[in-house]
Amino acid sequence: MDELIDRRVLDFVLGDWLKVDRLYARAAFAEHSRESTSAMLDVADRVARTRFLPHYKDADRQEPWLENGVVRLLPQIEDALGAFAEAGLSAAPFPERFGGLAAPNVVYSACMAHVMAANIATAAYAMLTTANARLLCAFGSEAQVDALALPQIAGDAFGTMCLSEPQAGSSLADIATRAAPDGEYPLGSRYRLTGTKMWISGGDHQMGRNIVHLVLAKIVGPDGVLPAGTQGVSLFATPKTLADGQRNDIVVAGLNHKMGYRGTVNCLLNFGEGAATPDGAPGAIGYLIGQPGQGLAIMFHMMNEARIGVGLGAAALACRGFALSRRYARERLQGRPPGQRDARAQSPLVAHADVRRMLVAQKAFAEGALSLVLFCAMLVDDEKTALTEEERSDAGRLLGLLTPLAKTWPSEWGLAANDLAIQIHGGYGYTRDFDVEQLYRDNRLNAIHEGTTGIQAADLLDRKILRDEGRGLALLGARVADTISRARLEPSLSGWAHDLAELWAEFSQTIAVLAERDNRRALPHAGPVQSALGHLVIAWIWLDQCVVALPGGPQDPNLAAGITAAANHFFAFEAPRVRIWSNAARNDASLPPALSDFVL
C-alpha cells in the first residue's frame, strides 16, 4: 500500500531538519523521547490506514443527511474518531493536568498529517475539537475546562467554531448574533444568544455526548442596541446539550452541499429561535469565555491554530496525491520516450521527462508545504517552552508572520500538486474511481475556509509586516541569511544561495517601499506580497534542507537526491516568480483600476 506520509521524509524533516530531539530535554516534554515519537507516528499511521482511509470514498458518495431535524453521518466516521481517541491522539497535545499526553505540538501535527492524508473530512472533526478544547484550556475558567474541554480531550465530545453569518463571512465586525446577559452561574456569566451562524463544520451530528459550539456574538448594550464594528464582540461556549441533559436552543436550519470535504457536515445553525427553550426563557444558553469584548482576540487563538491545521491538511492531501501518482507513473505503461519509438514494449509513464517533471513539482509543493507547516508547528512548541524569554518571544513573532503563509501556501500549491496528480493519471484521474480526483475536490476548500487567501494576505501585510515594523520579517531574514551563508560553502548549492540572496533583497526593498506609503496605497498589494513571501520561504526551506541533507549527509542517499531534485525544480521554475510578484507589488501600475474607473 502507498504511504500516506512518506516516513523517510518525515523522519528527515522532524529529526535531521527540525531537530525535534532538543524538545525532549524540556520539562514540558519530559515524558517524551525519540522512541515515543516514533511509536506515536506508527499509531497514527495505523489508525489512519485502518480506520480513516477505508471510508474515504464512501463518505464522499454518501454525504451527511438530515433526518427529522438531526444530522446523520456514515457510522464509519464515528468509528474512526473513536479509534483516534482510543489511540490517545485526541489527548496527545494537551498537558497532563488536562488528561493529556503532553506531546510536542510538532509531533502531534505530524500524527495529524497521517489521518488528514487518509481522510481529511473525517479528520476535520478531530482538528476542530482539539482547537476548541485548546482555546478553552487557555481562556476558560476551571469549571469551564472541566465541563467543556475535558470531555473533548477524552474524545467524548466534539467542538465547533461559529463565526460566519449570512451577512458576515470574512467581515466579522458585521456579525449580528445577539448575546443578552442572563446571570452568573458556576459555569460563568451566562448569556442568551439569538442569531444565525453559517458554514459550521461539524455543526451537528449524533457522535459523542455533546457538541461545544464556540460562538462569536455581540453583547447588547444597555439601550438594547448592538455596538458597531468589532466592539463588544465576545465569545460564548454554547453546548448542544446542557448540564442537566436538556437540549439547548440550537437548530440545524440546513446543510451545505460541497464540492468536496463532503464527510464533514456543514450546517446553517439557528441559535435561540425558540425551537427549544430549556427553562422557558428565549435564547440559546451560552457561557462567556474570557472577558466581554475579547471575543475576536480569543477566537484568533483558535483561528491561528486552525489556520495551521488547514495548511497541514492541504499539505497532507498533496503528499497523498504525490504518493498515488508516483506509484501510478511507475506501474502504468504508456508510450516511449524520444529515441525509443521502435521498441516493442511500452515504457512506464515515469520514463517520460514531462511526467517526471510533474512528479518532482509535486514533491516540491507537497513536501515543501509539509515542511513549512511542521516548522510552524514547532514554533508553537518553542513559543511555549523554549528556554529563554527571548527565544519564546521570537518564536511567537516569527509564528505570527508565518501563520498566514502556513495556511495559504499549502492550500494554493498543494492544490496545484493535486492537479498534477490527476494529470499523471490521464483520463483515469478524472474519474471518481481514483482517489486523486477526490483529493483535488477536497483540497479546493482549503484556500477558502478559516479566512480566504486574500484575507490572509491582508493579515500578513498589514498586521504581520507593516504594523510589526518588520521585526518578524527580520527574524526570518536572519534565518535565511544563515542558510545562505552555509549554502555558499557547498559548490553544488552556491548558485541557489546566490539566487535566494538576490530575491530576498528585492523583496525586502519592496517592503521598504510599501512601508513608506499610506496604507491605502500599500495594502492593495497584499496579494502579490503574500505570493512572493510564500515562495521565498519555500525556496529557503528547500535550500536549508539541501544544506542539512548534503554535506556528510544522512544515511540514505536517495533521500538527499530527492531533496536536491525538488530544490532544483523549485529554483528553476518557482523561485524566479518572487521577482515578478515583488516588482508588481512595488509598482502601483500593476494594480487593477480603482473602483471609480473599474469597467470590465
Site for its own copies in 123-182 (CB under 8 A): 164, 167-171, 173-174
**Residue closer to its own copies (CB basis): 212 or 366:** 366
**If you search the block for the grid coordinates 442572563, which residue do you land on?**
182
**Three-class secondary structure of residue 199 per DSSP:** strand
Return the DSSP state at 569.
H
Residues of this chain, 384-443, that bind its own copies according to CB under 8 A? 419, 422-423, 426-427, 429-433, 437, 440-441
CA distances from 351 to 109, 357, 420, 561 (A): 35, 11, 16, 18
447 binds its own copies (CB under 8 A): yes
Cβ proximity to its own copies: between 229 and 274 the closer is 229
Residues 214-243, interacting with its own copies (CB under 8 A):
228-229
In the complex with its own copies, the residue whose CB is nearer, 164 or 403, is 164
* Exposure string for 187-224, b = 16+ CB within 10 A, e = fewer: bbbbbbbbbbbbbbbbbbbebbebbbbbbbbbbbeeee
Q: Closest distance between its own copies and the C-beta of residue 503, in Å?
A: 13
Helix segments in 332-386, DSSP class H: 353-385
Nearest distance from C-beta of residue 254 to its own copies, angstroms: 11
Size of the site for its own copies (CB under 8 A): 99
569 sits near its own copies (criterion: CB under 8 A): yes
Residue 516 engages its own copies in binding (rule: CB under 8 A): no
Q: Of 445, 473, 532, 567, which lies in the binding site for its own copies, with binding defined by CB under 8 A?
A: 445
Which 449-468 residues touch its own copies, going by CB under 8 A? 449, 452-454, 457-458, 462
Please tell me whether residue 344 binds its own copies under the rule CB under 8 A. yes
Q: Do 130 and 160 touch, CB atoms closer than 8 A? A: no
For its own copies, the binding residues in 70-109 under the rule CB under 8 A are none
DSSP state of 574: I
Which residue of 259, 387, 489, 515 would you call a contact of its own copies, by CB under 8 A? 259
* Residue 448 lies near its own copies (rule: CB under 8 A): yes
**114 within 8 A of 44, measured Cβ to Cβ:** yes
Among 199, 236, 328, 542, binds its own copies (CB under 8 A): 199
The residues in 532-561 that bind its own copies, with binding defined as CB under 8 A, are 558, 561
Name the DSSP class of 269. E
Give the one residue of 7, 57, 336, 471 binding its own copies; rule: CB under 8 A: 336
The interface region with its own copies, picked from 90-98, 332-340, 481-489, 537-545 by CB under 8 A, is 332-340
* 359 touches its own copies by CB under 8 A: yes
Amino acid letter, 274:
G
| 576 near its own copies, rule: CB under 8 A | yes
Buried b (16+ CB within 10 A) or exposed e, 338-373: eeeeeeeeeeebbbbeebeebbbbbbbbbbbbbbbb
| Residue 338 lies near its own copies (rule: CB under 8 A) | yes
Nearer to its own copies, 246 or 346 (CB): 346
What contacts 40, CB < 8 A, 6 or more positions away?
88, 92, 103, 107, 111
Minimum distance between the CB of residue 90 and its own copies, rounded to whole angstroms? 27
- When computed from its CA atoms, the radius of gyration of the chain, rounded to whole angstroms, is 24
DSSP state of 3: -
Question: 521 is written with which cell numbers?
Answer: 496605497
Q: Which of 326, 414, 323 is nearest to 370 (CA)?
A: 414
Stretch that binds its own copies, among 348-356, 397-405, 469-477, 539-547 (CB under 8 A): 348-356
Cβ nearer to its own copies, comparing 84 with 322: 322
